[in-house]
Amino acid sequence: MFPYLLTALAAVAAAIFGAPLRAKAWVALAVVAAASAWAGSTAIGVLADGAPRILWQADGFLLGGGGGSMDTLSALFVLLISLGSVASVLYSHGYLAHSLAEKSPAHVSLHYTALTVMALSMLGVATSDGGYTFLFFWELMTIASFLLILYDAERRETVRAALAYLIMMHIGFVLLVAGFATLDRACGSADFAALAGYFAGRNPLPLFLVFLLGFGMKAGLFPMHVWLPQAHPAAPSHVSALMSGVMIKTGIYGILRVTAQLADLPALRTAGLILLGCGIATGLWGILLASAQNDIKRLLAYSSIENVGVILIGAGVGTLGLAAGNDTVAACGLCGALLHTFNHSLFKSLLFFGAGNVLTQTRTLSLDALGGLGKHMPVSALLFLAGAAAICALPPLNGFVSELLIYLGLLDGIAAGSGVPAAAAGLAALALIGGLAVLTFTKLYGTVFLGAPRTHEVAESTEVDRVRIAAMALPLAGILLVGLFPQAALDLVVRAAGALAPEAARGTASLPPVMTAVCRTAWLLIAVTGLLYAVKSRAQRRRIRRTGPTWGCGFTAPNVRMQYTGESFAEGLQSVAASVAPRSGEGRAVDKSELFPAAHNFDAEHKDRIDALFAAWWVEMLRRINRQMMRLRTGKVNHYVLFALLFLVTVFLLSVFNLIR
């Protein structure tokens, strides 16, 4: 198996390196599309009949055997990965077209090879049975994404972000290796299925926590999320879309697999509470920091962290329902979490593609420089609006359906009287997160696409090419399908949840009527709105319509820089949440005594406290160690002779006492 894999990778690399510069994207797309088509069709087959399928069985694969199979949960994630990868590679053709002239062909080939390898390794992660094959594909995914981030390696902050990413991913990797090694030593096999036996025998919580931390590092759990807001702005937009939309979900996949093995144990309730608590903390932290950002990609990165929190709230609720024996709550929670995973990959990819459009057309991502792009890039603006409305969970789009399922799990738990305090905390947190998401995304969309352009370079931008629009249309189709036909989506997700917990499938009996009613409400909303708009347009044709400047309250010289910026929009929230995202920066406001104010500069930045903690702690420790070491550097040669003598004596003594051989 391993030699086949290597030859396949070599063939792909050769094909991409050999292709002409303009065609590299199409070669990569062909490979990824072929792999996705095969995986996708297998996944649809598995979901249709519900029976798991064995994909490969390798006995000599690295350390010990390993196999790959696809059950309904893997099938859902494989579908997610296929859609995300194809859209991302399709988008990269138009996105990288302008920079192909600046990079060497080898650089571009390496990038496309890494893109292909990443897509294939993510498919491998979702289908491995566990153990060392899983870890092999996981590491391959990390290395491929590291290479992908380094596309703009001539910039210093890109290299720094990529190195920080690599270090944190390997910390998570070490935790996962420790977890799988413990499992292997205790049960003889490192597959996921062996976890059930391990958990039944001894205290499951330590190993569960190790796996949660390891997978949570990839998923972006609080407080291990610090790599996300650094890596996403540094990477090209299609890579950010792939990482945020698809790669993070592999972490969620791991967490769900491990939690599913805890079934029927008293520790399931503790695990559920841990997941719910982590979800609440991650969600709140993510959205509070997202509302403070003034760079499009950093804002979207923090929003991904918030959505991971929402997914974990759903998983926690489902687990608590399983522990309490309440099938409806378990079904709603788990189905909601899985559907939100799928939905998030759709709308986050769409939003990152939109950000990429803005970057290539205006060369800036700063909210303080953009504005009024809706008139120059109408199609991108409309697609971005759909993505923003979907991520705020507004009906009739798909975000609403998945969050409704999670809310239903919480409300059913409260109505049934089981786990009420936890459910109430989750409900309040989710409500607050939803409201703050509306604030964040109206800030983002309003400052970037609406109003008037704040700089003249932005006023001269144009719409993007049609291939990129087609790449954005793929997630949009998913958004509209799930939002307007939620019964089909529920069916899909129920089958996937059945692989996690069979009780979940039993508890979904009451859900299809809810989804039908949601579908009816969505269509009614669209019909009513359309009717009102049509009536208004017809009526206005018979009335006077004029054009006049925006009301300025008698102010004689308004200019575009007086519009509300991103920072001022979120200022109300930041003044109460100042402890979470402290503001630092330079410049001072116009003083009351300054009667004829001169020009003032103002630069505000919101830092992440956890980021400072991580960086500060490591730097402080290294400084202290360094200070101790510096004492030995006296500068006199006779002291160094003494050190050499001491070293020889130590080695001699250790070998005499048989401590080293």
Partner 1 sequence: MILPLVILYVVTLVYLSITERFRTYASIIGLQGWILFGVALLRLHRIDLPELLFISVETLLFKTLLVPALLFAVIRRTHIHRVRTSGSSQFNALLLSVGAAAAAITLTAAMADGNIDRVFFGVALYAVLSGLILIVVRSRIFSHMVGFLVIENGVFLFSMAVGTEMPFLINVAILLDIMISVLMLGIFFMRIGNKLHADDADSLTNVKD
Partner 2 sequence: MMTTSLLNTLLACGVALAIPGLINRVRARLAGRKGIRFAQHLYDVRLLLRKGAVYSPTVSALFRAAPAVYLGAAFTALLFIPVGDLAPLLSFDGDLICFAYLLALGRFALILAALDTGSSFEGMGASREALYGALAEPALLFAGATLALVCGCTSFADLTAGALFVSMSGMHTAVVLLLTAYVLLKLVFVESGRVPVDDPRTHLELTMIHEVMCLDYCGIDLAMIKIAGWFKTAALALLAADTALMAFDCRWWTAAPLAVLLTGAAVGVVESTRARNKLVRNTTFLLTLAALAALVFFTGYLLQSDIEIR
Taking CB under 8 A as the criterion, which residues in 443-462 touch partner 2? 443, 445-447, 450-452
Q: 418 and 322 in contact (C-beta within 8 Å)? A: no
Which is nearer to partner 1, 9 or 580 (by Cβ)? Answer: 580
Q: Please tell me the distance from the alpha carbon of residue 181 to that of residue 60, in angstroms, as a whole number.
A: 18
Contact partner, 394, from partner 1, partner 2, none, Cβ < 5-8 Å per class:
partner 2
User: Could you tell me the two tokens for 639?
Assistant: 């002291």
Options 372-380, 502-510, 547-555, 573-581: segment touching partner 1 (CB under 8 A): 573-581
Tell which phi-psi region holds residue 564, choosing left (phi > 0), alpha (psi between -120 and 50) or beta. Answer: beta
Q: How far is CA 181 from CA 91, 132, 326, 458, 491, in A?
A: 40, 9, 35, 54, 37
CA angle 479, 481, 482 (to 5 degrees): 70
Which is nearer to partner 1, 170 or 609 (by Cβ)? Answer: 609
550 touches partner 1 by CB under 8 A:
no
Options 172-180, 188-196, 264-272, 574-582: segment touching partner 1 (CB under 8 A): 574-582
Contact partner, 463, from partner 2, partner 1, none, Cβ < 5-8 Å per class:
none
Give the shortest CB-576-to-partner 1 separation in angstroms: 4
Bridge partners, residue 584, by sequence: 605
Contact partner, 552, from partner 2, partner 1, none, Cβ < 5-8 Å per class:
partner 2
467 touches partner 2 by CB under 8 A:
no
Contact code string over 579-608 relative to partner 1, x by CB under 8 A: x-----------------------------
Give the shortest CB-515-to-partner 2 separation in angstroms: 9
Place of tokens 């378990």: 330
Write the single-letter amino acid at 203: N
Tell which phi-psi region holds residue 356, choosing left (phi > 0), alpha (psi between -120 and 50) or beta. Answer: alpha
Q: Please tell me the distance from the alpha carbon of residue 258 to that of residue 207, in angstroms, as a whole number.
A: 10
575 touches partner 1 by CB under 8 A:
yes
Query: b/e for 581-603, b at 16 or more Cβ within 10 A?
Result: beeeeeeeeeeeeeeeeeeeeee
Which is nearer to partner 2, 94 or 372 (by Cβ)? Answer: 372
Options 58-66, 206-214, 228-236, 403-411: segment touching partner 2 (CB under 8 A): 403-411
For residue 191, give the nearest of 20, 314, 64 by alpha carbon: 64
558 membership: H or E segment, kind and range: none
Which is nearer to partner 2, 355 or 389 (by Cβ)? Answer: 389
Q: Please tell me the distance from the alpha carbon of residue 562 to that of residue 166, in angstroms, as a whole number.
A: 42
Which is nearer to partner 1, 85 or 574 (by Cβ)? Answer: 574
Taking CB under 8 A as the criterion, which residues in 381-440 touch partner 1? 421
Q: 201 and 51 in contact (C-beta within 8 Å)? A: no
576 touches partner 1 by CB under 8 A:
yes
Contact partner, 446, from partner 2, partner 1, none, Cβ < 5-8 Å per class:
partner 2
User: Could you tell me the two tokens for 284?
Assistant: 């709140």
Which is nearer to partner 2, 91 or 569 (by Cβ)? Answer: 569
Q: Please tell me the distance from the alpha carbon of residue 229 to that of residue 225, in angstroms, as a whole number.
A: 8
Taking CB under 8 A as the criterion, which residues in 512-571 touch partner 2? 513-514, 517-518, 520-521, 524-525, 528-530, 532-533, 536, 539-540, 543-553, 558, 560, 562-564, 568-571
Options 27-35, 44-52, 223-231, 430-438: segment touching partner 2 (CB under 8 A): 430-438
Give the shortest CB-544-to-partner 2 separation in angstroms: 3
303 touches partner 2 by CB under 8 A:
no
By CB under 8 A, the count of residues binding partner 1 is: 4
Bridge partners, residue 57, by sequence: 67
Which is nearer to partner 2, 431 or 615 (by Cβ)? Answer: 431
Which is nearer to partner 2, 199 or 384 (by Cβ)? Answer: 384
Q: Please tell me the distance from the alpha carbon of residue 152 to that of residue 208, in angstroms, as a whole number.
A: 38
Pairing of strands 53-58, 603-606: unpaired
Which is nearer to partner 2, 249 or 340 (by Cβ)? Answer: 340
Contact partner, 412, from partner 2, partner 1, none, Cβ < 5-8 Å per class:
partner 2
Q: Please tell me the distance from the alpha carbon of residue 503 to that of residue 439, in angstroms, as a whole number.
A: 38
Tell which phi-psi region holds residue 52, choosing left (phi > 0), alpha (psi between -120 and 50) or beta. Answer: beta
Contact partner, 639, from partner 2, partner 1, none, Cβ < 5-8 Å per class:
none
End-to-end CA distance of the chain: 39
DSSP 23: G
Place of tokens 């009906």: 395
Give the shortest CB-416-to-partner 2 separation in angstroms: 7
Which is nearer to partner 2, 359 or 394 (by Cβ)? Answer: 394
By CB under 8 A, the count of residues binding partner 2 is: 81
Write the single-letter amino acid at 496: A
Which is nearer to partner 1, 550 or 579 (by Cβ)? Answer: 579
Q: Summarize as ranges the residues that interact with partner 1 (CB under 8 A).
A: 421, 575-576, 579
